[in-house]
């Protein structure tokens, strides 16, 4: 967007011309606690006075260890765990696959349609959408297979079982004993906040167990309180083997993590994993500030409240002749899908029209989705209620304005 930012906080972006924009994107998710969170600033500033970098692989520092300890304790699974830190979401997903391959001695990976896992080579292979992420960049890994995800909009009563059947068939066809891992976003962010139908994730967990396949939850976008729980997968009570975090982990500072059972994480030989900037000390301090606030629970409650408000305001628009065919809400992860109300054919023009209306009227509301027909909202989870309502009001006005233009 042609907007240059001068300052930002927990819901307002102030541009260099003095315009105020309501932020319903949080920089694609990371600044969940606000773009100038006080505790993050305090901890990072104090760290700046001590040192900015040593490389944890060379000389260690305590904040890295404390971040790992918190993640070991707060990820699902009542067993001994280890965490390794990295810098970006893609890098952490790459490392999750490396760890899974090493620990299982297998190479294939099952991913899912609509998935987005990053822009590095392995994660482009795991990502399913061709354009704009993969066009012209191939070839990609031949050891990645994609299966469908059932979700409410298209789901018939038997959709979960039939999707699990596709997964079983796909594994059988390619020999399940060659699969190191299956990787899934518990809520598929770039696909348009697609929430897999209830029972699908537990069904996948069962299949993974049957074949000794590791279950990787990519919580880069959905994790760290975004959905009202620390991890989105907690809503389905599934315990993944490896859980990947990034984005809101350090509230906008570059930090990512892979957490899993000690025996899996420790399988890799010494110095097999790492990176110059992995677990940067400034980013670790930011993460510790995030943990303080998640431990205090107010932030999680606030994410839940954001979801309740979004549901209250947006859900009544579904099926009212305005082209809104679905509203998906889990805390501060919100998807508003546009299409033909009879055939459900996607209407990217409506999503883009509403997004542009919002931009003209001071609200940042971005489009995404497999067909670019979704407005995906990721407001700061601590956004003030009145500000969030103002932002939603502009979205509603945009939808009505497009409707009155003859939709």
Residues 16-45 that bind ligand PLP (CB under 6 A): 28
Residue 338 structure tokens: 């546009």
Closer of 105 and 132 to ligand PLP (Cβ): 132
Residues 245-264 that bind ligand PLP (CB under 6 A): 246
- Whose CB is nearest to ligand PLP? 89
User: In whole angstroms, what is the distance from residue 145 CA to residue 152 CA?
Assistant: 23
Closest CB 192 distance from ligand PLP, rounded Å: 12
Closest CB 123 distance from ligand PLP, rounded Å: 7
Closer of 23 and 218 to ligand PLP (Cβ): 218
Closer of 218 and 337 to ligand PLP (Cβ): 218
Q: Does residue 310 touch ligand PLP according to CB under 6 A?
A: no
The binder of ligand PLP chosen from 117, 129, 229, 330 (CB under 6 A): 117
Residues 133-172 that bind ligand PLP (CB under 6 A): none
Residues 212-241 that bind ligand PLP (CB under 6 A): 218, 220-221
Cβ neighbours of residue 66 closer than 8 Å, sequence gap 6 or more: 284, 288
Residues 88-107 that bind ligand PLP (CB under 6 A): 88-90, 93
The binder of ligand PLP chosen from 64, 112, 116, 200 (CB under 6 A): 116
Q: Does residue 189 touch ligand PLP according to CB under 6 A?
A: yes
Closest CB 164 distance from ligand PLP, rounded Å: 22
User: In whole angstroms, what is the distance from residue 369 CA to residue 354 CA?
Assistant: 15
- Judged by the rule CB under 6 A, the positions of this chain that interact with ligand PLP are 28, 88-90, 93, 116-118, 185, 189-190, 218, 220-221, 246
């Amino acid at each position: 967007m042609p907007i240059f930012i001068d300052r930002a906080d927990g819901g307002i972006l102030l541009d260099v011309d003095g315009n105020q924009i309501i932020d319903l994107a949080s920089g694609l998710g990371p600044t969940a606690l606000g773009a100038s969170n006080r505790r993050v600033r305090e901890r990072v500033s104090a760290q700046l006075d001590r040192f900015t970098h040593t490389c944890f692989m060379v000389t260690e520092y305590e904040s890295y260890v404390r971040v790992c300890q918190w993640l070991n304790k707060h990820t699902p699974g009542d067993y001994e765990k280890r965490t390794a830190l990295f810098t970006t979401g893609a890098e952490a997903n790459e490392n999750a696959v490396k760890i899974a391959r090493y620990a299982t001695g297998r190479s294939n990976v099952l991913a899912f349609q609509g998935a987005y896992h990053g822009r590095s080579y392995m994660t482009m292979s795991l990502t399913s959408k061709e354009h704009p992420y993969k066009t012209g960049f191939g070839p990609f890994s031949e050891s990645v297979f994609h299966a469908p995800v059932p979700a409410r909009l298209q789901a018939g009563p038997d959709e979960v079982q039939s999707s699990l059947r596709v997964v079983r068939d796909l594994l059988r066809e390619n020999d399940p004993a060659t699969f190191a891992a299956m990787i899934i976003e518990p809520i598929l962010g770039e696909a348009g906040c697609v929430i897999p139908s209830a029972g699908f994730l537990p069904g996948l967990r069962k299949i993974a167990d049957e074949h000794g396949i590791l279950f990787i939850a990519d919580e880069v976008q959905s994790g760290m309180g975004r959905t009202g729980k620390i991890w989105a997968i907690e809503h389905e009570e599934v315990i993944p083997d490896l859980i990947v975090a990034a984005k809101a982990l350090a509230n906008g500072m570059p930090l990512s993590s892979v957490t899993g059972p000690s025996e899996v994480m420790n399988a890799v030989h010494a110095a097999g994993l790492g990176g110059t900037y992995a677990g940067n000390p400034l980013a670790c301090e930011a993460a510790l500030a995030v943990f303080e606030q998640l431990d205090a629970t107010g932030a999680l409650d606030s994410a839940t409240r954001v979801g309740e408000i979004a549901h209250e305001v947006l859900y009544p628009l579904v099926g009212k002749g305005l082209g809104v065919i679905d509203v998906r809400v889990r805390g501060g992860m919100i998807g508003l899908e546009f299409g033909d109300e009879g055939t459900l054919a996607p209407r990217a023009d409506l999503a883009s029209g509403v997004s542009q209306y919002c931009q003209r009227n001071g609200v940042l509301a971005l489009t995404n989705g497999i067909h670019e027909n979704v407005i995906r909202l990721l407001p700061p989870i601590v956004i003030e209620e009145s500000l969030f309502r103002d932002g939603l009001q502009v979205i509603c006005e945009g939808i009505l304005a497009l409707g009155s233009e003859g939709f």
